[in-house]
Amino acid sequence: MNYKELADMIFPDAKEISYYEEKYPRRNLPEGAEVLRVAPSPTGNVHIGTIDQALIAKKLAKQTGGVFFLRIEDTDQKREIEGGISQIIEALKTFDLEPDEGMTSETEEIGNYGPYKQSERKDIYQAYAKYLLEQGKAYPCFATPEELEEMRAKQEVAKVRTGYYGVWAKYRNLPLDEAAEKIKAGMPYIIRFKSPGREDRKIQHKDIIKGKVDFPENDQDIVIIKADGLPTYHFAHLVDDHLMGTTIVTRGDEWLSSVPLHLQLFQEMGFKAPRYAHTPTLLKNDNGNKRKISKRKDPEAAASYYEEIGVPSLAVKEYLLNIANSTFENWRRQNKDLSIDDFEFHLNKMSVSGALFDMVKLADVSKIVISRFTAGEVYNESLKWAEKHDNELVEMLSDKEYSLKVLGIERGNAKPRKDIAKWSDVKENIIYMYDDKFLNSKQEYPYQVISDKESINKILELYIEKYYDENDDKQTWFDKIKDLAGEMGYAREVKEFKANPDSYKAHVGDVSTVLRVALTGRTNTPDMYEIMQVLGKTSVENRLRKAMEN
């Protein structure tokens, strides 16, 4: 029995690898074009880290005129959930990160390098495993779970590295005839890679993100084909990224330690290895400790969470780029109006260690992103969100013309309002602008410096009777508030008040506050002149009267 015969016995139907090498020719791409992919497993609840991976991969592919594809890694069928692929596809769509190639639904796909779902590639993996068997670079291993357990226990007692390597690799040198006998006898087995590595030798890996990293060579005879005939991650990575023509493997840095093994696999197979870029894990601050964002504990781990609370996907992407490239912030400061697509991303500018993903900072970024939206965009997006999550907001927005005016307050100017971080903030931010909400409910009036009923009512009454004219321009409007302040014996100017604090009880700003609180029930609002313009005469007067009666 020779290697070839054993290989034929194990995989009688597998094709020659030349068949696949021809079927999937090297991609004909311009110089510098990179091929990248995102390769999630359909385990449900797409992680925000997957979005981060996809964003980076797609950006680089686009930037270089290359290809971005989606591969579904479903070889661990125990972890798979129903609808898992659709969830991934939906999430990528939500974030506008659709791939050029890959799965487009649970069963359909686009592109010439498929199938893009690993469970459909069984024949391909087996062909490549057979090739390794033929070369004597792989072998069947008959170790039972008990045997492996026993080996592990012995290794622990002996205080040596655990794993299947060197003298511990019991079936590595099993005579081929014996192996054939066992297979004929129906003994269960898996296929292992015969590692040529030695632990006492070092290799150096040059990671695009992590830089130079030294590792001992791999000497583990890892499993390449499992008992169910499907490959392990390592072997699928080798076969898929080779055949699909990936030029840069971007993946989470939990895979960094597998690089020695992966480089060895490519080497033994005679393939050119891709370049690797191991991206920092997204971390969160948990009471002063940084830890991984966890699907189990943190709602923000789920890519779908942002749609639920109404953070625009654009804001999430902008924030992820912020974390990903230290140069982004500066670029954004200088290019306030450009799209993130115009930002040139560099893998080698990524942080080497973990990247802190902070919900408060995300909210700040989101406020700025939303401040660049037109009133129409804010209207459409918040309505879309409200239709799924908030009926009351839908009802408020049903008066489109008025709502556009409300949302247009302090928007579209040089310093747009930055008070909306997510669509779920919109209601609270604008509810006081709606008469049916404001006038028909009991109001709190948080008056400040001027807080006695008599002065307040005097101010409001004088304002309605003598000073309010809805046709005033902003300057006249403000001058009139000053006049009102003067008439009441308050300082017309804040300066004046500061110079002689003892001569006045309050100043024009305090009078404005009374008006603001009476009109809106709040001390903090966007520009009051604009608010009054939008409310219009009847509403302004009704509101001031209501406040007087309070």
Comparison of 42 and 197: residue with beta carbon closer to ligand GLU: 42
Comparison of 121 and 237: residue with beta carbon closer to ligand GLU: 237
Comparison of 221 and 240: residue with beta carbon closer to ligand GLU: 240
Listed ranges 36-44, 186-194, 395-403, 536-544: which one lies at the site for ligand GLU (CB under 6 A):
36-44
322 near ligand GLU (CB under 6 A): no
CA distance 86 to 101: 15
519, two tokens:
């009109």
Comparison of 39 and 138: residue with beta carbon closer to ligand GLU: 39
H/E stretch holding 473: none
Which residues in 371-410 contact ligand GLU (CB under 6 A)? Answer: none
338, two tokens:
């450009």
Comparison of 213 and 368: residue with beta carbon closer to ligand GLU: 213
Of the chain, the end-to-end C-alpha distance in Å amounts to 99
In the complex, least distance from residue 250 CB atom to ligand GLU, rounded to whole angstroms: 7
Cα 483 to chain centroid distance, Å, stands at: 53
In the complex, least distance from residue 40 CB atom to ligand GLU, rounded to whole angstroms: 5
Query: CB burial class (10 A; 0-12, 13-18, 19+) of residue 254?
Result: exposed
All residues at 6 or more sequence positions from 202 whose CB lies less than 8 Å from its CB, including other chains: 214, 215, 216, 217
Comparison of 251 and 284: residue with beta carbon closer to ligand GLU: 251
Comparison of 64 and 250: residue with beta carbon closer to ligand GLU: 250
Cα angle value 373/53/374 (rounded, 5°) = 5
Listed ranges 33-41, 185-193, 259-267, 498-506: which one lies at the site for ligand GLU (CB under 6 A):
33-41
Q: Please answer whether residues 526 and 405 qualify as being in contact, where contact means their C-beta atoms are separated by less than 8 angstroms.
A: no
41 near ligand GLU (CB under 6 A): yes
Comparison of 72 and 370: residue with beta carbon closer to ligand GLU: 72
HEC profile of 97-141? CCCCEEECCCCCEECCCCCCEHHHCHHHHHHHHHHHHHCCCEEEE
In the complex, least distance from residue 71 CB atom to ligand GLU, rounded to whole angstroms: 8
In the complex, least distance from residue 16 CB atom to ligand GLU, rounded to whole angstroms: 27
* DSSP state string for 416-445: -----SSHHHHHHHHGGG-HHHHTTS----
Comparison of 255 and 478: residue with beta carbon closer to ligand GLU: 255
Listed ranges 37-45, 79-87, 204-212, 420-428: which one lies at the site for ligand GLU (CB under 6 A):
37-45
In the complex, least distance from residue 49 CB atom to ligand GLU, rounded to whole angstroms: 9
Q: Please answer whether residues 56 and 37 qualify as being in contact, where contact means their C-beta atoms are separated by less than 8 angstroms.
A: no
Comparison of 222 and 386: residue with beta carbon closer to ligand GLU: 222
Which residues in 42-81 contact ligand GLU (CB under 6 A)? Answer: 73
Which residues in 237-296 contact ligand GLU (CB under 6 A)? Answer: 237, 251-252, 255
In the complex, least distance from residue 42 CB atom to ligand GLU, rounded to whole angstroms: 10
HEC profile of 504-529? CCCEHHHHHHHHHHHHHCCCCCCCHH
In the complex, least distance from residue 140 CB atom to ligand GLU, rounded to whole angstroms: 26
474, two tokens:
């902003």
- Binding-residue pattern over the window 323 to 352 for ligand GLU, x denoting contact by CB under 6 A: ------------------------------
Amino acid at the residue 507: H
* Sign of the Cα pseudo-torsion (21, 53, 104, 339, in order): negative
CA distance 7 to 506: 94
Size of the site for ligand GLU (CB under 6 A): 8
39 near ligand GLU (CB under 6 A): yes
In the complex, least distance from residue 160 CB atom to ligand GLU, rounded to whole angstroms: 29
Comparison of 254 and 387: residue with beta carbon closer to ligand GLU: 254
In the complex, least distance from residue 118 CB atom to ligand GLU, rounded to whole angstroms: 9
* DSSP state string for 278-343: EEPPEEEEETTEEEE--TTT-GGGBTTHHHHHT--HHHHHHHHHHHH-TTHHHHHHH-TTS-GGGS
Listed ranges 39-47, 173-181, 497-505, 517-525: which one lies at the site for ligand GLU (CB under 6 A):
39-47
H/E stretch holding 94: helix 84-94
In the complex, least distance from residue 232 CB atom to ligand GLU, rounded to whole angstroms: 11
Residue 332's Cβ-side half-sphere holds a number of Cα atoms within 13 Å equal to 18
Comparison of 7 and 282: residue with beta carbon closer to ligand GLU: 282
Residues in the chain: 550
Amino acid at the residue 486: G
Comparison of 253 and 541: residue with beta carbon closer to ligand GLU: 253
3-state helix, strand, coil in the chain (%, to 5): 50, 10, 40
Q: Please answer whether residues 207 and 232 qualify as being in contact, where contact means their C-beta atoms are separated by less than 8 angstroms.
A: no
Which residues in 208-237 contact ligand GLU (CB under 6 A)? Answer: 237
Residue at shortest CB range from ligand GLU: 251
Amino acid at the residue 101: E
In the complex, least distance from residue 255 CB atom to ligand GLU, rounded to whole angstroms: 6
In the complex, least distance from residue 478 CB atom to ligand GLU, rounded to whole angstroms: 59
Listed ranges 35-43, 134-142, 189-197, 423-431: which one lies at the site for ligand GLU (CB under 6 A):
35-43
Q: Which residues bind ligand GLU (CB under 6 A)?
A: 39-41, 73, 237, 251-252, 255
